[in-house]
Amino acid sequence: MNDSIRQSFAAGIAGLKVVDETLRQQREQVAKTMPGVQTRSQRVEAGLAAIEEAEAEREQLRSALQAAEADVRGLRAELEAMQLTHSQAMTTLDNYRRERDEAVTKYAALDAVYDAVLTVMQKHRPANPVDGGLVHED
């Protein structure tokens, strides 16, 4: 039992040494960041001033974030409007292409009919235009 008590006591002392070392390092860090601050009350006041400064900076950053979020919402709305306009333009363009293709198809059909009519007319053209266009069969 004595050994377990000694080990617990040694562990407790080691823990206290770690805490003491940590506190010493923190005091040194405070002394580096706040030179000229000697007393505890000065350190507390300096700490409170640092907290107030950090809170003010946080509020400023929060305001900037809200403004940036508003900008993003506006830009997203603008993007959606542009995408809608683009979609409408593509639909219109597809309609124009379809109309063009239909017109080309009709033109090709009419051109074929015109060629056929021209061929028929050339076959039945009067052989002797002087006779009034009559073809004499003997």
Q: What is the pLDDT of residues 64-101, one digit of tens each?
A: 999 999 999 999 999 999 999 999 999 999 999 999 99
Residue 135 has pLDDT above 70, yes or no: no
* Count of domains for the chain: 1
* pLDDT band, residue 34 (cuts 50/70/90): low
Would 133 be classed as within a structural domain? no
- Domain containing 66 equals 18-123
- Cβ count within 10 A of residue 30: 15
Element (H, E) at 2: helix 2-33
User: What does the DSSP assignment read for 22-71?
Assistant: HHHHHHHHHHHHSTT--SHHHHHHHHHHHHHHHHHHHHHHHHHHHHHHHH
The pLDDT, as a whole number, for residue 67 is: 94
Is the model's pTM score more than 0.75?
A: no
The token duo for 12 is: 């407790």
In a domain, 112, yes or no: yes
Q: Tell me, yes or no, whether 8 lies in a domain.
A: no
Judge contact between 37 and 43, C-beta under 8 A. Answer: yes
